[in-house]
Amino acid sequence: MTKQIREYLAYISAFMEEEHTPDELRAEREILLKRIGLYQHERLIHLLVTLAFALLFMISLLIFLLKGGIGIAVLTLLFLALLIPYIKHYYFLENSVQKLYSFYYKLERL
C-alpha cells in the first residue's frame, strides 16, 4: 500500500504541474475523490489495528509490572515490536491522505 500511495502522490503531483482542459480536471478530481475514500478506509483499519496493539501492549506491560515473568516480558516486547511499525505506517497514511486533500482542494479551485 505504501508503494501504491507514493506512486499516486508522484502522479498527481506531476499532473498538477501540467495544463489540462476543464474536462480532464473534472475527471481527475473524481478519480482523486475515489482514491481518497479508499485510502481513508485503509487509514481507519490501520488506526483500529494500531489502537488494538497499543491496548494489548499496555495490558501486557501492566501485567508484567504487577506480576513479572519472562513469558509476559517477551509478549510485551513482541507487542511493542509490532506496535512501532504500525504507528509508522499509520503516520504515513495520515500524512498521505492529508496531501491528497490538498491536491483535491487545488483541483476544486481550477
> Tell me: the pLDDT tens digits for 2-40?
999 999 999 999 999 999 999 999 999 999 999 999 999
Cα 77 to Cα 82: distance, rounded to the nearest angstrom:
9
pLDDT one-digit tens code per residue, 84-109: 999 999 999 999 999 999 999 999 88
Residue range 54-89, pLDDT digits in tens: 999 999 999 999 998 999 999 999 999 999 999 999
- The answer, yes or no, to whether residue 44 has pLDDT greater than 90, is yes
Domain boundaries, the chain: 22-109
Phi, psi of 69 (to 5 degrees): 110, 145
